[in-house]
Amino acid sequence: MKITDIVGTVVRAEYRPEYRKDKRFYVKDEVQANVIVQVHTDEGVVGIGEAAHTPGLYGETAAATVGGIELLKSGLVGLDPLELTHANAVMDRYSLGGNIAAKAGIDIALHDLAGKVIGVPVYQLLGGRVHQGVRTHITPATYENTPADMARLMTEGYRVFKQKMSGDTEYDINIVRELLPIIGENVILSLDANQAWSVNQTLYIARILEREVGLNQKVIFEQPILANDVRGMARIRREIRFPVMADDGIRTVGDLTRVIDNEAADIVSLKISRVGGIQKCQQMIKVAEAANVDYIVDEINEMRVANTAVAHLAVASRSPLYTGTACHTLFEVDIVTEGGVTITNGIADVSDRPGLGIGSATLLGLDLPADESIVLGA
C-alpha cells in the first residue's frame, strides 16, 4: 500500500453566540477555521485527520496549513502509510520546526488509516485501552452569564472546567468568586489565563483566592504568564499554594524537559494539535510519566475529528488527570454527523470501530472540491 495523495480542505464552523464575544485574553475569531486532512492510498483506503488552529496563540492559520500540507506531501506520497514513525521523520525533514498543525492533521489521518487497514481502533495502535473513558473538561464562555452556564454544565455531568481569564485583575477575581459557590469542593476549576497575567499579578490573585477560598476547592493556575518565562513559572509555583499548569509553551520535548528540569509546573498540558501529532504527543506523555509529573491530554479549538484523536490517546494513556475533548460542542454545527468521541456525564470515550471510528460519509461537505472552503451551517 502506498500514499497517493494528501488533501487539505478548510472547514469553517461558527461558534455558539456566547463564545463569539468571549472576554478571554487572546483574540479569537467568531468562526473557527480548521483543515480536514484526507490521506489517499492506491488501495482506496482513506485516512481522515484534522489540523486545528489558534492563531491568537500560535500564529498558524488554515491557509498556511493548506500550504504546509502541499509542502509535506511531496515527501510522503509513495510511502507506506503504515510506517508512522518514518512518515513523521520525513515530515520533520521537510519542515523541521514549522507547520505543526499540518503535521498533526496528517499524523492523525495516518493513524486513522492504519487502524482501518489493520481493523482496530486507534487506541490499540497506541498500546491498548487503559481506561473505559476519561473525564473531560469543558470551557464555559467568559461573559456576563458564565455562572448560569456553569450551573447548566454541572447538570450535564461535567466536573472539570477550563475557565478562560480576561487579563483584567478585578474581572478575573470576581468571575472566580461567582463560580466557586456553584461548583463546590469536588470540581476542578482551571483558571486558564493564556499568558494574560504578570508574575506579580498572578501572585496577587493567588493570595486573594487563598485567603477567601482556601485550598478546599480544586483550583489550578493554568499558564498564568508568558509561556517562555520558565523562571517566572517556577517562582509562582514556589510561592502559591494552588497547583500550576504549564501549557502554551510546550511544543517540543525540549520545551517539556525545560519545564520539568526547572520544576516550573505541577501539571503539564499536552496537545496533539500543538505538538505535531499523536505520536509526538504520546512521546511527551511518556516523558512526563517518567518524571512523575502530572499531565492532561488536551485540545485546541478542535472539531470532532481532532477531539476524537485526543480521546483515543487519553484512554490509551496510563494516568491523565483528565482530558479535553468537548470543544466540538461549542460550535453551532460540527462537521461529523455520526461516530467519533462521545461524552456522557462528563466522561469522554470512543468506540471499538476501526481507526477513529468516523466514516468519510459522515463528514459534511467533503464532496466539495479541495480548493473550496466548507462553511458549516451555510
pLDDT, tens digit, 9 for 90 and up, residues 161-177: 999 999 999 999 999 99
Based on the structure, what is the number of domains in the chain? 2
Residues 214 and 287 in one domain: yes
What mean pLDDT is predicted for residues 14-24? 88
Residues 115 and 135 in one domain: no
Distance CA 92, CA 139 (A): 32
Provide φ and ψ at 127, rounded to 5°. 115, -5
Residues 67 and 160 in one domain: no
C-alpha cell, 91: 515530515
Angle between helix 146-155 and helix 169-183 axes, rounded to 10 deg: 30
pLDDT of 262 strictly over 90: yes
Where does the chain have alpha helices with state H?
17-20, 55-58, 62-76, 84-94, 100-118, 122-125, 146-155, 169-183, 199-213, 230-239, 253-261, 272-275, 278-290, 304-315
Residue 299 domain-assigned?
Answer: yes
The alpha carbon of 374 is separated from its chain's Cα centroid by a whole number of angstroms, namely: 22
Residues 109 and 186 in one domain: no
Residues 267 and 309 in one domain: yes
Residue 210 domain-assigned?
Answer: yes
pLDDT, tens digit, 9 for 90 and up, residues 279-297: 999 999 999 999 999 999 9
Residues 109 and 130 in one domain: no
pLDDT higher for 137 or 365?
137
Residues 341 and 364 in one domain: no
Distance CA 378, CA 374 (A): 9
pLDDT, tens digit, 9 for 90 and up, residues 22-53: 888 887 888 999 999 999 999 999 999 999 99
Residues 294 and 241 in one domain: yes
CATH code at 80?
3.30.390.10
Q: How many CB atoms lie within 10 A of CB 109?
A: 30
Residue 54 domain-assigned?
Answer: yes
For residue 358, give the amino acid letter. I
The residue range of the domain holding 74 is 3-120+360-375
Residues 43 and 179 in one domain: no
pLDDT, tens digit, 9 for 90 and up, residues 71-128: 999 999 999 999 999 999 999 999 988 999 999 999 999 999 999 999 999 999 999 9
pLDDT of 5 strictly over 80: yes
Contact between residue 342 and residue 153 where contact means Cβ atoms under 8 Å apart = no
Provide φ and ψ at 140, rounded to 5°. -70, 150
- Tell me if residue 264 falls in helix, strand or coil: coil
Residue 212 banded pLDDT, cuts 50, 70, 90: confident
Q: Taking the model in full, what pTM does it have?
A: 0.95
| Nearest partner of 337 among 363, 307, 303, 357, judged by Cα | 363
pLDDT of 263 strictly over 90: yes
User: pLDDT at position 185, please?
Assistant: 84
Residue 146 domain-assigned?
Answer: yes
What value does the mean pLDDT of the chain take? 94
Residue 355 domain-assigned?
Answer: no
pLDDT, tens digit, 9 for 90 and up, residues 141-162: 888 899 999 999 999 999 999 9
Residue 20 banded pLDDT, cuts 50, 70, 90: confident
Distance CA 284, CA 275 (A): 9
Distance CA 371, CA 363 (A): 17
Residues 82 and 15 in one domain: yes
What mean pLDDT is predicted for residues 268-277? 97
What mean pLDDT is predicted for residues 197-210? 97
CATH code at 268?
3.20.20.120
Residues 96 and 197 in one domain: no
User: pLDDT at position 25, please?
Assistant: 83
Residue 192 domain-assigned?
Answer: yes
Residues 163 and 85 in one domain: no
pLDDT of 231 strictly over 80: yes
User: pLDDT at position 184, please?
Assistant: 87
pLDDT of 361 strictly over 90: no
User: pLDDT at position 27, please?
Assistant: 79
Residue 104 domain-assigned?
Answer: yes
Residue 354 domain-assigned?
Answer: no
pLDDT higher for 361 or 265?
265
